[in-house]
Structure 1
Amino acid sequence: MTRTALITGCSSGIGRATARAFLDAGWRVHATARDPDEVPDAAAATVSKLDVTDDGDVDRVVDRTLEEAGRIDCLVNNAGYGQFGPLEDVPTEAVRDQFDVNVFGPHRLARAVLPHMRERGTGTVVNVGSVDDRLPLAGIGAYAGSKFALAGMSAALRQEVAGHGVDVVVVEPGLVATDFYDRALADLPSTDRSAAYDDVYRVLDRIGVFADDVPGVADPAAVASVIVEAATADAPDPRYQAGPLGTPGVLAAELLPRAWRDRAVRAGVALAASGPVRRAAQWADDWR
C-alpha cells in the first residue's frame, strides 16, 4: 500500500519542496497550509486548510487524512516562522505566538497522529528545527528558543515512543533560500526600539541581503531530500543537518566553549553593524 505523508506549512519554501519530494518518491501526500489556495496542485494529492494553533483544525485534518488514506506513515512538522528582535524589545505576547506555532503546533499534531502510528507499530515524526537551536545568536532569541524547545521535546518523545515502532527525527537546516527572512524582518519591533541594541538592529536589517544567492545558502529542495531520507530510513538518526551551513554551525556550537562563542558573536555583530561586512551588504543590496 502507498505510504502517506502529512506535511504542514506547504504554501512555500521547505514545505512545498517537501511535498513534491515525497510525491516524487511515490508517496501519497496530504499537504496543509493556512491558505490552501497557495499550495500548487502539483505539490500534493490532497490539500487542506490547517492552522497549527487550532486544535479543531488539527483533529479535522488528521481525521480526514486517515479516512482518505487509511494511514499516516510520516508526519512532517514544518509550519513555522521567525520572530526576530532583541528579546528586551520583543513583547511577551509575540514570544507566546512564536511558541504557539513553532512548539505547541508540532505538539498538537504529534498528539493527534501518534495513537494511529502506535496502533500500527510504525511511523516517523519529522520536526523541522534549525541549527539555531544549537547556536542561538543575538537578535533571534525568541526564534532560537522555540527551536531549542522543539529539539528538547523531540528528544524526549523519541525515547517515549521507541518501543512502539515510531521514530522521531529533527532536521536542522542552516540558511535556506525562502521568504522566511522577509517575514521575520517585517515582524521586527517597529516602535520602542532600545538604543542599546542599535548594532543588533543594523545587522538584522541587512540579514536579508545574505539570505539568497550566496555561498552556503541551501535550496529548499536540498532540505526536502533530507526530510525524505529521514522518513524512509529503517533506523533514522535522531538529528540531520541540511544544507552547507548546517554541519559547520553544529560543529561551532558543540566544539567551541560558550564564552568563546559569545565573544565571537559580539565581535561579529559589531563588525557587521559598522565595519566592512556592513559595507559589503550595502553594496550587494545596491547591486540588486
Structure 2
Amino acid sequence: MSEKVVAITGASNGMGLEAAKLFAQRGWIVYGGARRVEKIPTTNGIHALKLDVTDDASREAFIQTILTDQHRIDVLINNAGYGEYRPLEELPLENLKAQFDVNFFGAAALTQLVLPTMRAQHSGRIVNISSIGEDVFTPLGGAYHATKAALRRWSNVLDQEVKGFGIRSVIVQPGGTQSSWAEIAMANAKKNLKPNSVYRPLVEAVETQLSGIPASAATSADLARLFYRAATDETPKYAYFNTWSDRLMARTARVHPRLYMRIADRLMKGFSKEGAK
C-alpha cells in the first residue's frame, strides 16, 4: 500500500504542530490545517492548508484537497480547540455557541466529510482530542468542559456505528501540559469579567490553581507521541492518557464525583484564603 495519509486540525502550534512533525518523520503524508497556515512548516512531507473548522466551505476545501491529491485519508485528528473561561452567569450565549462550534461541531462536520472515503477503503481512524477536562472540572471552565464531555460521548457512539466498516473512533485525554493554554484562558477570563463582578475573587483563585502546572508536566512532543499511538495501535483503546495520574484524576471525577467535589472544594477554599492574605 502507498504511504498513509493523516489530516490534522489545529496544526499551527502546540500538540497539533508537534504531531504533524512526528507523523512526517515517520513517513506519513501529512496535511495540517489551521487558520494561521503560515505557522505550519512545509517540510518533510507536511502540506499546510488554510482551515477554519467553523466554516463549511473551508472544511470542505480542506478535505477535498487531500482527496484530490492522495485519493485517501487514513487518519483524521480532530485537534483544533480552545478554552472559553468565564463565570457561567456572565458568559454570553454567543460565546458558548462559539466554543461548541470549534471544539465539537467542527470535529463532527469534518468527520462526516471523511467517513464515506474511509468506508470505501474499509479502514480509517478518527482521533478526537478531548481532555481530562471532560471528567475533571473547575469553576469558570463550564463551556470548555461541556464541549469535551460532548466530544467523548459523540466519539463513543461513532465508534459503535462505524466499527463494522473497519473504522475506529478514539479519544485522547491530555492532562496538565507545558503550554500557554491556561495563561491565555485566564487572561481572557479576567479581561471579560463584568465591572465589579462578584466572581473576581473566584477568578483569581482559579488562576492560582491553574498556574501550578509542574515543570514535569507533559510537553507537546509527549502528547504528539500519544496521538501517534492512538492513530496506529492495531487494537485501539477506549481512551488514551499520557500518564497514570491523568487517568486516575479522570476516573476519580467520573466514578467518585462526591469525593472529587470534596477535594476540589477544599483546594479552591485554600487558594481563596491565600489570595485574601
TM-score of the aligned structures, taking structure 1 as reference length: 0.89
Following the alignment from structure 2 to structure 1, what is the Cα–Cα distance between the partners of residues 165 and 195? Answer: 49
1:22 to partner: Cα distance: 0.7
Counterpart in the other structure of 1:33:
34
CA distance in 2, matches of 1:80, 1:228: 19
Q: Is residue 230 from structure 1 mapped to residue 230 from structure 2 by the alignment?
A: yes
Distance 1:172 1:205, change over 3 A: same
Answering whether residue 163 of structure 2 is matched by residue 162 of structure 1, we say yes
Distance 1:183 1:97 in 2: 17
Q: What amino acid maps onto 2:222 in structure 1?
A: A
For structure 1, the residue ranges without an aligned partner over 5 or more in a row are 283-288
Aligned to 2:141: 140
Aligned to 1:173: 174
Instruction: Give the structure 1 partner of residue 100 of structure 2.
Output: 99
Query: Within 5 A, what are the aligned runs for 1:132-281?
Result: 132-188=133-189, 190-192=192-194, 195-207=197-209, 209-211=211-213, 214-215=215-216, 217-243=217-243, 245-256=245-256, 258-275=257-274
What residue in structure 1 maps to residue 72 of structure 2?
A: 71
- Partners of 1:259 and 1:265 lie apart in 2 by 10
Farther off after superposition, 48-57 or 241-250: 241-250
Once the two structures are overlaid, the 10-residue window that deviates more, 27-36 or 184-193, is 184-193
Please tell me the residue identity of whatever aligns with 2:204.
R
* Structure 1 counterpart of 2:22: 21
Q: Secondary structure at the match of 1:41?
A: coil
Counterparts of 1:9 and 1:86, CA distance in 2 = 26
Deviations 1:53-86 (A, max 9, x none): 0011111110100111221100000000000122
Q: Secondary structure at the match of 2:178?
A: coil
- Per-residue CA deviation, residues 33-72 of structure 1 (Å, 9 max, x unaligned), is 1010011234752110000000111111101001112211
Shift of 1:132: 0.8
Query: What is the DSSP-based 3-state SS (H/G/I as helix, E as strand, rest coil) of the residue aligned with 2:211?
Result: helix
**Alpha carbons of structure 1 residues 17 and 51: separation in structure 2 relative to 1, 3 Å:** same
| Structure-2 change in CA distance of 1:154 and 1:208 (3 Å) | same
Q: Which runs of 5+ in 2 are unaligned?
A: none
3-state secondary structure, aligned to 2:57: helix
In 2, Cα distance between equivalents of 1:74 and 1:153: 17
Indicate the residue corresponding to 1:7 in structure 2.
8
Residues 1:136 and 1:208: Cα distance change in structure 2 (over 3 Å): closer
Say which SS state the counterpart of residue 89 (structure 2) adopts.
coil
What CA deviation, in whole Å up to 9, does each residue of 1:138-162 have, x standing for no partner? 2211100000000010011011101
Could you tell me how far 1:128 is from its partner in structure 2? Answer: 0.2
**How far is the alpha carbon of 1:238 from its aligned partner?**
1.8
Q: Distance in 1 between matches of 2:107 and 2:45?
A: 20
Is this contact kept in 2: 1:95–1:142, CA < 8 A?
yes
Question: How big is the alpha-carbon RMSD for the aligned residues of Structure 1 and Structure 2?
Answer: 2.0
- Aligned-residue identity in percent: 31
Residues 100 and 144 of structure 1: is their aligned pair in 2 closer, same or farther, counting only changes over 3 Å? same
Task: Determine the C-alpha separation between the residues in 2 that align with 1:12 and 1:230.
Answer: 20
Aligned-residue offset at 1:197: 2.9
The change in CA–CA distance for 1:226 and 1:168 in structure 2 (over 3 A counts) is: same
Q: Which amino acid aligns with 1:12?
A: N
Separation in 2, partners of 1:139, 1:38: 30
Q: Is the 8 A contact 2:41 2:48 kept in 1?
A: no
Specify the SS of the correspondent of 1:210. coil
CA distance in 1, matches of 2:201, 2:118: 48
Q: Determine helix, strand or coil for the equivalent of 1:187.
A: helix
Instruction: Check the 8 A contact 2:111/2:126 in 1, yes or no.
Output: yes
- Runs of 4+ aligned residues of structure 1 deviating over 4 Å after TM superposition are 193-196
- Paired residue type of 2:263: A
Amino acid at match of 2:102: V
For these two proteins, the number of residue pairs brought into alignment is 275
Q: TM-score, normalised by structure 2?
A: 0.93
